[in-house]
Amino acid sequence: MGTDTAIAIESSKPAPVPSTTLAFQDICYHVRHKDGHDKQLLNGISGAFQSGRLAGILGPSGAGKSTLLNILSGFKTNHVSGTILINDTPIDRRKYRREVSYTPQDVCLLGNITVTESLQFAADLKLAPATTTSEKQTSVVEVLKLLGLSKCAPNPVANLSGGEKKRLSIGLELISNPKIMFFDEPTSGLDIIAAMQVVAHLKDLAASGRCVICVIHQPSSSILQMFDDLFVLSEGHCLYRGPLNELVPALKEAGFDCPNYYNRADFALEIASLKHEGNVLQLRERAAHHRIISRTDKSVPNEAPNGEENEALLTGVVNGDGGGGDRQYLTSEWSQFVTLTRRTMLCTFRDLQLTKMRLLAHFFVGLLIAVVFYDVGNDGSKVLSNASCLFFFLIFVFFANSMPLVMTFPLETSVFVRERMNNWYSLKAYYFSKLVADFPFLILGPSVFLAGAYYLTSQPMELDRIVMLWSICIFTSWIAQMTGLLAGSVLPLELSVFCVPCSVIPMLIFCGFFVRFREMFDFLIPLTYVAYFRYSFEGAMQAIYGFERANLPCSGEFCYFSKVPKFLESFDMLENTFVMDVCGLLGWVFVLHVALYASLAWRLKRTR
């Protein structure tokens, strides 16, 4: 039994990787305020992290910990100067982004797929095409064992505990076996037991030969003891860098005597917060004394005035455009597109709110409208009521297809940003996969809605008119979906829930239903050609009443609008403008598609 246990433990150890040294010299970073003045957040930070050793970056809030981590991982490149080297060689951007992984403090995960499926999709996106399915499956099983996730492998991610989600986020990046792994406060929000489990797994990853660096915030003594090296920051300066067991002697040399049985991390944080008397400048000079030595007899380029040469070196090898044109991926964009489409459709099918409730709402609201407007579509005395019925068709289709995406897409956007910045796939592959995966639901909802409502409201049972009204509802649903995606990608949830309904109000005012065009001021008339609801409403009216429809039967004594041309004229509509209305809606669809792509690219650029 003992032998079997030893074998099981050995098989769950991380795969060894080649030895790596990440070194950096004179890293500076500044931000520009609105008044035009620059504020220096990092001041000539230098250091090195060795593979096989777990390193922690410690410091009070505002010290520059996360900023340094973002720069070293290649996430942040603007307003940065300095040099980054791997094994004494300046980093190559294309290779570097494939050799490192970055896990932020708040990791957003797709909750509708299982733990195993999350890792399988990660393997499909991150591993080379030559990797067989069995090899990918083996990698997934090994990661599950390594991080202690085997028991919860079949569970949906939404049902995981905080510690399990943290470990899963580590596993998603571990699939590609990166040489360097960055973690921003991996223990935040966890209890002491879960935090110790996470750090223990990080320790195992470092022991396998990886370079593991993480920002830590007020670690307990037991957690701190797991770290091999410590990097202490204070106000953008380094106070200490080196082995953990040399921290107290180094502080004592500068006049900071740590009391017995006192948490070394707390004492270092107090010094970094300038709460103790001592020689802080001596600590800074001692930390900056050791310079990074590059390859034999080849020193790192000297610092140019204002950091110009170093900034050019750093941005030249790290920076990339928001579209990812300069990046290389192990998998082709077509393979990324197929995998992302499968994942998105699977998540959507399992989403109760986005799928089942959405379809049920289309069905029952369609029946409700059909009951309220029963048998109004073929009666000359009820044409105004039928116009209201068509208008409500469009209103419901818009809100039923925009608001669910407003609620759900912000989380998916956060997942996209994390995965895209970790070099999982290109922006183009994600963008088109999202459009294709959502398209079936874009068609299914309005189809379910019209299936009962059209017949029960006695609209003309002519195939061409049914298809025309159905297509208008589809285009309106398409615009609604793109509006929801655009708002969800640009705005926070609280603001997008407010802005989407507000943005529809002008479109409704200028659609011609509430106020006739002839009753508006002349300077407002051009705005009616911008409102997409004008084209939706006019297209629906053309589908039902246009194209030389016969006069309507009258159930009352006198029906002024039984002659269809008079009815369209009362709404300032010409006959047979359906093609123009479709072109107007397609124009809006195109504009919103471009805006969505630009918003995702802008979101990536802002993250950088």
The pLDDT score that the predictor gives to residue 166 is 86
Most confident stretch, 264-278, 512-526, 563-577: 512-526
Asked if 136 contacts 123 with a C-beta cutoff of 8 angstroms, the reply is yes
Identify residue 434 by its one-letter amino acid code: K
Please give the average per-residue pLDDT across 256-264, as a whole number.
84
User: What confidence tens digit (pLDDT) does each residue in 196-229 have?
Assistant: 888 888 898 888 888 999 998 888 888 989 999 9
Q: Tokens 């409704």 belong to which residue? A: 508
Mean pLDDT over the full length of the chain: 83
CA geometry: angle 536, 537, 541, nearest 5 deg: 120
Of the candidates 484, 536, 528, the one whose C-alpha atom is nearest the C-alpha of residue 510 is 528
What confidence category does residue 237 fall into, taking pLDDT thresholds of 50, 70 and 90? confident
H/E stretch holding 232 reads strand 229-234
Q: Are 229 and 244 in contact (CB under 8 A)?
A: yes
Higher pLDDT, 543 or 568: 543
| β-bridge mates for residue 496, sequence order | none
Residue 77 has pLDDT above 70, yes or no: yes
Closest residue by Cα to residue 237 from 199, 190, 188, 288: 288
Query: Comparing 3-17, 161-175, 314-328, which segment has the lowest mean pLDDT?
Result: 314-328
Q: Which residues does 363 contact at the CB level (< 8 Å), separation at least 6?
A: 448, 449, 452
pLDDT in tens, 583-598: 999 999 999 999 999 9
Comparing 594 with 31, the larger pLDDT belongs to: 594
Q: What are phi and psi of 89, to 5 degrees?
A: -120, 130
Residue 75: both structure tokens together: 């996430």
pLDDT at 34: 66
Give the strands of the sheet with 211-215, arranged side by side: 100-103, 180-184, 211-215, 54-58, 229-234, 237-243
183 phi, psi to nearest 5 deg: -135, 130
pLDDT average, residue stretch 465-488: 94
How many other C-beta atoms can be found within 10 angstroms of the C-beta atom of residue 338? 16
334 to each of 135, 175, 328, 337, how far by Cα in Å?
21, 21, 14, 5
pLDDT at 1: 38
Whole-number pLDDT of residue 7: 35
User: Number of C-alpha atoms within 13 angstroms, CB side, residue 552?
Assistant: 30
With tokens 């010299």, the residue in question is 25
In the chain the first and final C-alpha atoms are separated, in Å, by 52
What is residue 583's predicted lDDT score, i.e. its pLDDT?
95
